[in-house]
Structure 1
C-alpha cells in the first residue's frame, strides 16, 4: 500500500469539524455557517507522497491566473492547482503546486497556492512542505510585484496568526480586488471566504450578501468560470436553489473529470425536487471518482467526495422510493476496503458515513426494525472503533427499537428503550471521562432522538398536548443541528409531528406540517405518501385521488410497490 499521511477527523453530516488553517472564520461557531460546513467536508484529506509527478489535467476547470515565472510548465501547473482549489480537490491541487515549484523554485505564487490546500499538520511531510513554502514566501517577497506580494502576505499571515488570521486575510483579499479589479480568482476566493449561509429563520448571516454581490460581479466578467458556478450553487442551495438551476445545468460541462464538480448539480436538483436529475448527477460522480481512483491508485476511503456523494445519493433515493438502490450504495460504503490501521485513524468518517450507512438509510425510510438489524450487525472485531462511535451506535439502537415498538403498539417496550436511551445520555454527560464522552454533535443528535421518541410515546398514550410539545422541541433541536448536505438528521421530526397531529384528530394542522415539510423536500414521494395516508384516514376521497396521482408521478423510478399504502 502506498505510503499515506492520515488525519484523524470527524466527518459531517453529524457533527462539525475543528479546522486548522482553513478559510473559514473560526470565530463563527454556529452550526449554520455554510462556509464552515463546506470546509469541514473538504478537510477529509489524505496525502500520498510517493506518487509520480502529476500530469497536466483536462476537464477540471478553466482558471487562467497570471503569474510571474520563467517556466511555462510552472504557469500551467499553477493554474491547474487554482482550478483544483475551486473544485475543492485539495490533494490534486497540492500535487500541482508542488510540480509548479519543481519547475521554477523562484516563482512565488506556487508557494502561496500550496498553502491554500487543506490538510493535516499530523502529516510530517505535508507540514514540512508548508513550512518550506512559508520560508520561500518570505525569501522571495522583496522582489515580488505588488499583486503577488499581497498574495504572499496572505500565506505568511496564515502561518503566523493561524486561526486568528481570518480578518487579516480578508483585508488582503479585499485590497487585491480593489487594486486589481480584473483578478477573477481573488474575487472568487474572497466570495468563498465570506459565504456564511443563513440562520434557522433563513436570514442571511454576516457576509452572505457580500459574497452574493461579489459572485454576481464575477459572473458578468466570466460567465463560464467553473469556480463561479460551483460557488453560486453553494451560495443558493439552502435559501433559493431555483436561482442556481442555470449553474447546475452548465457546471459539469466546465469540469467533467472532477468528481466533486460532477456531483454539485445534484445539490440543486435535489433541493428543487428533481430527484431523477439529482440521482443521475450523483451516479455520474461515482463513476467519475471511481475512474480517477482506479487510474491513480487511490482507495475509496481516502476520497472525501466519493463518500459524501454516495451519502447524498442514498438520501436522494429516499425521496423517490429507490430503496434497493439506496441500500446497494449504503452497503458499498459499509464494505469499503480498509485495513485495521486505516479503520482506526479514519474512525469518524469510516464509521459514521460508512459502517453506519445502511442503518441510517433504513432510518430515513422509517424502517425501524431493519435499521436495528443493521446497527446490531456492526461488530468491533478489531477493537478499533472509538468509544464515542460505539456509544452512538448503541444510542441509535435504543431509538430505532423504541420507534419499532411503537409501530407494533407496544408502548411498554418503547418506554423501556426510551429509558435506556436517556440513561446512556446521562451516563455520557455526567459520569464518563472527558476523552470518552460523546462529542457535542453526537449528544445533540441523540438528544433530538430522545425527545422525538418521548413525544411519540406520549402520542400513543393519548397525551397529545405533551406529545406535540416534546415533538416541537425535538423539531427545533433538529433544525439547530444546522444545515447539512444531505440533512444531518436521518428522518425529519416533522413526520412524527404530523402523525401525532393525526392521532389527535388535528388534520388541518397535520396538513400544514406536511406542506411545510414539502418546502424543505419539494415533490418528495416520502411526504406525498404521508399526505395520501392522512387523507385516507380523514376520508377525503378527492384529496386521496390528488395525492395518489402526485405520488405515482414521484415514484416513477421507485421499487415496485414502494410507498403504495405500506
Structure 2
C-alpha cells in the first residue's frame, strides 16, 4: 500500500504539557459537561493515563483527555458527550470535533453507522477542518476521520474502514513513536481485517507488536492495553501478554468495557470463574453508563456482558444461573436499539436451548423479536434463531419445519453478503451447512449429514470469531462429534470433540461428549481424563445426570483392580 510520508521538517511544533494526566471518570449522566467544574468528583474511578496535547485552552484540554480515555475504552456514548464538552469549553478546539466524529463509528464491533451518523460525522470533520489547526499531527488525525466519513451519502462500510486504515497508516509513518498515532493505527489495522482467519491473525500479530512497544513505553495508556487485548483475541494468541490482560480492568475499575474485555481472553482459555467475575462487574457498571442522546437507553454493553455470563454458566453446567441471567436481561426496559443488542437478544435464548439439548424449546423460538429492532439490518442474529429453530425441528424429526428454516438461512446469507458483510455471511453459512447436516441425518442420509457437518467445521475453523460473540452458537466440531456419536462412529466422534476442545477449551458438552465417545471406543484413560475435566469445570453444575455419570465412571475406575 502506498504511504504518504510527511517530512519531519514540516511537522509543526506541538504544544507540550508537563507530565501525564491521570484521567478521572465523569459521572454516568448523559450530559457530562455538567461535571466539568468538578473533575475530582470521581477521582477514585480512574480511566488510565493519556497524554495528547491539543491546540485548545486548558478547560477544553482537560475535557478532551477524559473523552479520549473513554474513546480508548470504547465507551462511545459517554466519550461523545465529553468531546462535546471540550468543544463547548473552547469553540476553536478542532480536535474536539474530531473526537465527536470518532465516536460515531465502532471499529471491531458489529454496529454500523446509519445515514444520520455518517452525516453527523462528516459535519464534525468539516467543522474541525474549518478551524484549520496548525499542528500537522492534528491535521493528520482529522484527515483520517475524514477518510472514513467523506461521501456520507454512500453506505459501503468496508470501503470507509479501509480508507481510514490507510490514512492512519500514513500518519503512523510520519509519527511512529507517538503513542496516540500508534494505537489508533493498530486499531485501524485490526479493523480492516478481511473475513479470513489467516489474514486476521497476521494483522493481529502486526498490531500486537506495535501495541506491546507502546505499552512498555506508556504502561498506563488505556488504548495500548485495550487494543492489545483485542489483538490477542484470536486463536493461538490468547496466552500472549496475560499480564496486560489481567491489569486492564484495574485501569478503569468502573468502566464496563474495560471490565468486560479481559473476559474475551478468559473465554478463549476456558477460565469460566474469571469470565463470570468480570462480566458481573461489567454488567453492573454498564447500568451506570446510559446511552442515547438523553441517556434514555441501557447501554448495549449490559446485554454484551449478560451473554458472556450465560455462556460461562452453561459451560459450568449451571443452567439455573444461565437462565437467570437471560431473565434478568429480559426484565430490563429500554435496551439500546443497536446491532449488539439485537445479536444478544437473538443469541442468548438460542444458546440456552441448544446447549441444554432442549429441542422443543429450540424449535419454538420466535425470530425477529422484539419487533422494535431493525432486523433487516441484523441478518446474522436472525440467522442464529432460524438455525436454532431448524435444528430443534430436525432433532425432533420435524423435517418440513427444519427445511423451512434452512431456506430462510439461504436468504439471510445472500442478504448479508449483499450488505458487504462477508465475515458475518460466512458465519451464517456455517449455520446453514450444520442445519443441512441435521436435516440429512433426520432424513436417514448419514453420509450427507457427515459431509455437511465436516464442511461446516472446516469453514468455521478458517474464519475469525467476531468479538460480539463469546463463541459459535454451537461449535461445528462439537456438532460433528454429536452426529458421529449418533452414527456409532465413536473413535471419530472422539477426534471431533477433541478438535472442538482445542479451539474452545473446557466446554461442558465437548468434555462430556469426548468422555462418552472415549468410553464407547474403549479408550478408558482418555475417558477418565475428560470426565475428570468435566468435574473440575462444572463443580456447581445443575445438570444431575452427566455429573452423576462422570462420578460413577471415575469411581468404577478407582475400584478396578490394578492391571499387571
User: TM-score, normalized by length of structure 1?
Assistant: 0.75
**Cα distance in 1 between the residues matched to 2:197 and 2:129:** 45
Matches within 5 A, 1:100-115: 100-115=86-101
Query: C-alpha deviations, 1:277-336, integer Å up to 9, x for none?
Result: 111111110111123349x9845x541222222122222222221211111112222333
Mark the CA change 1:450 to 1:235 in structure 2 (over 3 Å): closer, same or farther.
Answer: closer
**Cα distance in 2 between the residues matched to 1:169 and 1:383:** 32
Deviation at 1:533, TM superposition (A): 1.5
Deviation at 1:469, TM superposition (A): 1.0
**Cα distance in 1 between the residues matched to 2:410 and 2:127:** 52
Deviation at 1:98, TM superposition (A): 0.9
Residue 185 of structure 1, aligned match among 180, 187, 201 = 180
SS in 2 for 1:547: helix
**Cα distance in 1 between the residues matched to 2:84 and 2:453:** 53
Task: State whether residues 481 and 493 of structure 2, in contact with CA within 8 Å, keep that contact through their aligned partners in structure 1.
Answer: yes
Residue 474 of structure 1, aligned match among 423, 445, 456 = 456
Q: Which is worse superposed, 189-198 or 47-56? A: 47-56
- In structure 2, the partner of 1:359 is 350
- In structure 1, the partner of 2:142 is 152
SS in 2 for 1:509: helix
- In structure 2, the partner of 1:137 is 128
User: TM-score, normalized by length of structure 2?
Assistant: 0.76
Query: C-alpha deviations, 1:486-505, integer Å up to 9, x for none?
Result: 25641122223113333444
Query: C-alpha deviations, 1:39-74, integer Å up to 9, x for none?
Result: xxxxxxxx99877635446422221211222x3221
Deviation at 1:268, TM superposition (A): 0.8
Deviation at 1:184, TM superposition (A): 0.8
**Cα distance in 2 between the residues matched to 1:348 and 1:176:** 31
- In structure 2, the partner of 1:537 is 520
Is residue 335 of structure 1 aligned with residue 331 of structure 2? Answer: yes
Q: Which is worse superposed, 163-172 or 184-193? A: 163-172
Query: C-alpha deviations, 1:346-371, integer Å up to 9, x for none?
Result: 38655542266323322233322233
Is residue 64 of structure 1 aligned with residue 42 of structure 2? Answer: no
Mark the CA change 1:243 to 1:398 in structure 2 (over 3 Å): closer, same or farther.
Answer: closer
Query: C-alpha deviations, 1:186-235, integer Å up to 9, x for none?
Result: 11001111115586554556644432221122023112322111111110
Residue 84 of structure 1, aligned match among 44, 67, 70 = 70
SS in 2 for 1:62: strand
- In structure 1, the partner of 2:404 is 420
**Cα distance in 1 between the residues matched to 2:128 and 2:443:** 68
Q: For structure 1, which runs of at least 5 residues remain unmatched after alignment?
A: 1-46, 406-412
Q: Which is worse superposed, 151-160 or 521-530? A: 151-160
Is residue 227 of structure 1 aligned with residue 223 of structure 2? Answer: yes
**Cα distance in 2 between the residues matched to 1:287 and 1:427:** 38
Mark the CA change 1:547 to 1:129 in structure 2 (over 3 Å): closer, same or farther.
Answer: closer
**Cα distance in 2 between the residues matched to 1:424 and 1:165:** 30
Matches within 5 A, 1:291-302: 291-293=288-290, 298-299=295-296, 302=298
- In structure 2, the partner of 1:507 is 490
Mark the CA change 1:544 to 1:440 in structure 2 (over 3 Å): closer, same or farther.
Answer: closer
Q: Which is worse superposed, 329-338 or 169-178? A: 169-178
Matches within 5 A, 1:294-333: 298-299=295-296, 302-333=298-329
Deviation at 1:155, TM superposition (A): 3.9
Query: C-alpha deviations, 1:236-260, integer Å up to 9, x for none?
Result: 1113101032122100111112100
- In structure 2, the partner of 1:9 is none
- In structure 2, the partner of 1:74 is 60
Deviation at 1:179, TM superposition (A): 4.3
Task: State whether residues 334 and 355 of structure 1, in contact with CA within 8 Å, keep that contact through their aligned partners in structure 2.
Answer: no
Task: State whether residues 334 and 356 of structure 1, in contact with CA within 8 Å, keep that contact through their aligned partners in structure 2.
Answer: no
Q: Cα RMSD over matched residues?
A: 3.9
Task: State whether residues 395 and 421 of structure 1, in contact with CA within 8 Å, keep that contact through their aligned partners in structure 2.
Answer: yes
Deviation at 1:524, TM superposition (A): 2.3
Q: For structure 2, which runs of at least 5 residues remain unmatched after alignment?
A: 1-27, 106-111, 550-564
Task: State whether residues 170 and 190 of structure 1, in contact with CA within 8 Å, keep that contact through their aligned partners in structure 2.
Answer: yes
**Cα distance in 1 between the residues matched to 2:427 and 2:478:** 17
**Cα distance in 1 between the residues matched to 2:374 and 2:90:** 45
Query: C-alpha deviations, 1:73-116, integer Å up to 9, x for none?
Result: 21111111111111111111111111111111122222222221
